[in-house]
């Protein structure tokens, strides 16, 4: 039986749409944190007080994740005029970000969610690259349940000098997460790795004395990479 052209076009459109639906299936073994998910409760309480004083308008850009965002004190200025809501906290892991997802992400009804979190692989009970990917996939699933059309971005884990010996694991985790984001039309991957290297190694000149966190030059480089992506994503 010959199918009509409109029917075939409809099937094609459906197939393309399905192709862009991500799978939230885990690829690693199950992981249960051996640490409290409320280690950074004080930071969350501080956010609550800030919101009580002045609640950000809905439709902004939420930055969530760990200390590389928390210490980006000038994110609002560096990324202006984009409406930045910086809710990075402590030295958090993705399970902690998930634990506080209502207080640090969903309550703001954002148009864009940007995540940076590199500590999962470096806690006492360390994760494999696959388990690290799975945690971010679960975070994505929970965001999509409440905000199905929100634009999401994952900022690649950076090449930290103090963690350089495990760079192959970090590179693998970054690639697994990048592959996951490709399956979602409203999900992007922002690679900050190249601008943080010098002669193939982490550029010591952009890090603080702890060889983990960044100085002003490091954030300037991040701004150069991240801002154009967010401008495009926010304006879509």
pLDDT at 13 over 70: no
pLDDT band at 109 (very low <50, low <70, confident <90, very high): very high
pLDDT of 145: 97
For the whole model, what pTM was predicted?
Answer: 0.90
Q: Report how far residue 74's alpha carbon sits from residue 35's, in angstroms, rounded to the nearest whole number.
A: 30
Average pLDDT over residues 59-79: 98
Cβ neighbours of residue 144 closer than 8 Å, sequence gap 6 or more: 150
Q: What percent of the chain has pLDDT over 70?
A: 91
pLDDT of 7: 56
pLDDT of 198: 97
Average pLDDT over residues 126-154: 97
Delimit the domains of the chain by residue range.
58-234
pLDDT band at 19 (very low <50, low <70, confident <90, very high): very low
Average pLDDT over residues 167-194: 97
pLDDT of 144: 97
Average pLDDT over residues 130-155: 98
Q: What percent of the chain has pLDDT over 90?
A: 88
pLDDT at 82 over 60: yes
pLDDT at 15 over 60: no
Average pLDDT over residues 136-147: 98
Average pLDDT over residues 75-82: 98
The pair phi, psi for residue 167, each rounded to 5°, is: -60, -35
Enter the CATH code of domain 58-234: 3.40.50.1110
Higher pLDDT, 124 or 132: 132
Q: Within 13 A of 30's CA, how many CA atoms are on the CB side?
A: 1
């Amino acid at each position: 039986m010959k199918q009509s052209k409109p029917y075939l076009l409809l099937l094609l459109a459906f197939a393309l749409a399905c192709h862009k639906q991500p799978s939230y299936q885990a690829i690693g073994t199950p992981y249960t944190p051996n640490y409290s998910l409320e280690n950074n409760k004080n930071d969350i309480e501080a956010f609550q007080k800030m919101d009580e004083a002045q609640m950000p308008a809905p439709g902004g850009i939420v930055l969530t994740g760990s200390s590389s965002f928390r210490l980006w004190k000038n994110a609002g200025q560096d990324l202006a005029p984009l409406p930045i809501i910086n809710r990075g906290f402590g030295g958090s892991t993705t399970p902690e970000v998930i634990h506080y997802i209502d207080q640090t992400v969903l309550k703001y009804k954002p148009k864009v969610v940007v995540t940076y979190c590199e500590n999962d692989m470096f806690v006492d009970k360390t994760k494999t690259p696959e388990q690290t990917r799975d945690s971010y996939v679960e975070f994505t699933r929970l965001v999509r349940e409440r905000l199905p059309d929100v634009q999401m971005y994952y900022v690649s884990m950076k090449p930290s000098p103090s963690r350089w010996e495990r760079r192959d694991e970090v590179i693998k985790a970054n690639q697994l997460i990048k592959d996951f984001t490709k399956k979602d039309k409203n999900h992007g991957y922002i690679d900050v790795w190249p601008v943080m290297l010098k002669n193939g190694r982490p550029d010591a000149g952009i890090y603080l004395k702890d060889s983990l966190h960044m100085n002003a030059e490091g954030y300037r480089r991040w701004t150069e990479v991240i801002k154009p992506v967010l401008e495009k994503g926010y304006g879509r």
